[in-house]
Amino acid sequence: MNPRAIALVRSNFRTVTESPRGTDRLTNAFYGYLFGDNPILRQLFPAGMDAQREKFVSALSYIIDILDDRERVSGFLEQLGRDHRKYGVESSHYSAAGKALHSALKSYTGALFWTSSIDAAWASVIDSVVTSMAAGADADDLPAQWSATVVEHRRVLDDLAVIRLRCDVPVPYEAGQYLPIRIPQRPRMWRYFSPAIPWNSSGELEFHVRRISGGWVSPSMVNETQVGDRWSLGAPLGGLRVDMHGGDDVLMIGTGTGLAPLRAQIMEMAMRGTNPRVHLFVGGRYPCDLYDMFTLWQLGMTNPWLTIVPVSELDTNPWWSPEPPAEMPEGMHQRLCGPIGSIVSSFGSWADRQVQIAGSPTMIRSIRQALILGGTPASRIAHDPV
Ligand SMILES: Cc1cc2nc3c(=O)[nH]c(=O)nc-3n(C[C@H](O)[C@H](O)[C@H](O)COP(=O)(O)OP(=O)(O)OC[C@H]3O[C@@H](n4cnc5c(N)ncnc54)[C@H](O)[C@@H]3O)c2cc1C
């Protein structure tokens, strides 16, 4: 795509994201056009559209951010097309969505500022988005959904559960990817979760789920899930992976349940003979948030290429946690205390590493910023879309 078109699209989109309630107005217009012209599509979406609107804006922002990286953008869009199969979206729906987005942007911008160059730039971006998504959906010969049974539900913290499932047929994911999940308690809502173990032929999966206060799905997963519940899983997504061929050492930073995709990759690497050196910084707000230290310690003890550094933002546990902060097991790096981004940067620039960050969107953004300020090239830093 030509750089001028990309620049025009970015600057026009900034007028949406930088204006108060701009993204609400744009998404209202988008879904208004989409459902107005194609009423039948409304039934594919949940009744409450707030989370859907947020997801739409995050995906669009991410696509616009990476537009000049052709390979990355088409890989992401093809995955997104495959992901949409679980909703019952068909190829023809993409052109309807593209038309609705074009009309929404035009009416948001207003006739005065909607020039023919902006019109053409958006038309070419939207065309390549809908074509890549439709191609991704058409090319996929995997099922749109899989089913799995909950076999264990363990509360490891008041707000965090480790949930194990066995799939009827193993889902073909790679360590580091994430899967859309739907639970019986929230039948029309899909959320993404990252398996915390690598693929295995028995179809066993493990997820670490944090309860987000006020959330629709995660409180139900943590509080109400029962052994025997049947969950639906969509096609795997995401491209967090260690490049074994480049040979560069690896820096991984995971906060909260962001540990899961990193842990899955480390476990998979542990099954191989030769690996690059891996530094894993694992973080939480309080010492008690470091919920998986025993497994990490075992991995660290048996894999000399792996160094694990626990970090908590605060040095003491909160008053509602009765335990004093646990000592780190012998042989393990002692816990460091402070903002994880600054702590990681204080070790050096990490400029020669392949870097992966996983965690909440706020943590990803702040750690990424701290690393870039500390000298890590942005192009070396990978994370899932936030
Ligand atoms: C690629 C990817 C992988 C993920 N993997 C995991 C995982 O392995 N384990 C896990 O527990 N979660 C994971 N998540 C987050 C998960 O998909 C849900 O977003 C989260 O569980 C909240 O869903 P909800 O329905 O409870 O909240 P919603 O009803 O969707 O949202 C309620 C409110 O909470 C806010 N919110 C949503 N997510 C977060 C968050 N993470 N931190 C702070 N505020 C938030 C929303 O902006 C909204 O305002 C992942 C997300 C992505 C994008």
Q: Are residues 268 and 198 in the same domain?
A: no
Query: Quick check: CB of 194 below 6 Å from ligand 1?
Result: yes
Closest ligand 1 atom, CA of 257?
9
Q: Are residues 133 and 152 in the same domain?
A: no
Q: Which of 139, 155, 185 is the last residue of a domain?
A: 139
Closest ligand 1 atom, CA of 160?
11
**Pair 160, 258: CB distance under 8 Å:** no
Query: Quick check: CB of 22 below 6 Å from ligand 1?
Result: no
Residue 217 is part of a domain; what is its CATH number? 2.40.30.10
| Total structural domains within the chain | 3
* CA pair distance 260, 174, nearest whole angstrom: 13
Q: Are residues 265 and 372 in the same domain?
A: yes
Whether 245 maps to a domain, the answer reads no
Query: Quick check: CB of 192 below 6 Å from ligand 1?
Result: yes
Q: Are residues 119 and 156 in the same domain?
A: no
Say which amino acid occupies 142. Answer: L
Q: Are residues 18 and 114 in the same domain?
A: yes
Chain Cα centroid distance, residue 225: 22
Whether 164 maps to a domain, the answer reads yes
Q: Which of 139, 166, 181 is the last residue of a domain?
A: 139
Closest ligand 1 atom, CA of 189?
25
Closest ligand 1 atom, CA of 195?
8
Q: What residues contact residue 363 under an 8 Å CB cut-off, 6+ apart?
A: 255, 256, 258, 283, 340, 357
List the pLDDT tens digit at each of the 386 positions of the chain.
Answer: 789 999 999 999 999 999 999 999 999 999 999 999 999 999 988 888 888 899 899 999 999 999 988 888 998 899 899 888 888 888 889 999 999 999 999 999 999 999 999 999 999 999 999 999 999 988 888 888 999 999 999 999 999 999 999 999 999 999 999 999 999 999 888 999 999 999 999 999 999 999 999 999 999 999 999 999 999 999 899 889 999 887 899 999 999 999 999 999 999 999 998 999 999 999 999 999 999 999 999 999 999 999 999 999 999 999 888 787 888 878 889 999 999 999 999 999 999 999 999 999 999 999 999 999 999 999 999 999 87
Whether 338 maps to a domain, the answer reads yes
Whether 335 maps to a domain, the answer reads yes
Whether 222 maps to a domain, the answer reads yes
Q: Which residue's C-alpha comes closest to atom 52 of ligand 1?
A: 192
Q: What is the 3-state secondary structure (H, E, C) of the chain?
A: CCHHHHHHHHHHHHHHHCCCCHHHHHHHHHHHHHHHHCHHHHHHCCCCCHHHHHHHHHHHHHHHHCCCCHHHHHHHHHHHHHHHHHHCCCHHHHHHHHHHHHHHHHHHHCCCCCCHHHHHHHHHHHHHHHHHHHHHHHHCCCCCEEEEEEEEEEEEECCEEEEEEEECCCCCCCCCCEEEEECCCCCCCCEEECCCCCCCCCCEEEEEEECCCCCCCHHHHHHHCCCCCEEEEECCECCCCCCCCCCCCEEEEEEHHHHHHHHHHHHHHCCCCCCCCEEEEEEECCHHHCCCHHHHHHHHHHCCCEEEEEEECCCCCCCCCCCCCCCCCCCCCCCEECCHHHHHHHCCCCCCCEEEEECCHHHHHHHHHHHHHCCCCHHHEECCCC
Q: Are residues 192 and 134 in the same domain?
A: no
Whether 296 maps to a domain, the answer reads yes
Q: Are residues 124 and 14 in the same domain?
A: yes
Domain that holds residue 325: 250-382
Query: Quick check: CB of 215 below 6 Å from ligand 1?
Result: yes
Q: Are residues 93 and 113 in the same domain?
A: yes
Q: Which of 234, 264, 296 is the last residue of a domain?
A: 234
Task: Work out the number of other CB atoms within 10 angstroms of the CB of residue 149.
Answer: 15
Among candidates 337, 335, 343, which has minimal Cα distance to 367?
343
Expressed in angstroms and rounded, the spacing between residue 374 Cα and the centre of ligand 1 is: 28
Expressed in angstroms and rounded, the spacing between residue 161 Cα and the centre of ligand 1 is: 14
In Å, the largest CA–CA distance within the chain is: 67
Q: Which residue's C-alpha comes closest to atom 6 of ligand 1?
A: 193
Query: Quick check: CB of 8 below 6 Å from ligand 1?
Result: no
Whether 176 maps to a domain, the answer reads yes
Q: Are residues 226 and 352 in the same domain?
A: no
| The two three-digit tokens of residue 200, written as one number | 């295995």
Q: Are residues 81 and 149 in the same domain?
A: no
Q: Which residue's C-alpha comes closest to atom 49 of ligand 1?
A: 215
Q: Are residues 187 and 281 in the same domain?
A: no
Whether 45 maps to a domain, the answer reads yes
Residue 286 is part of a domain; what is its CATH number? 3.40.50.80
Expressed in angstroms and rounded, the spacing between residue 192 Cα and the centre of ligand 1 is: 8
Query: Quick check: CB of 160 below 6 Å from ligand 1?
Result: no
Query: Quick check: CB of 376 below 6 Å from ligand 1?
Result: no
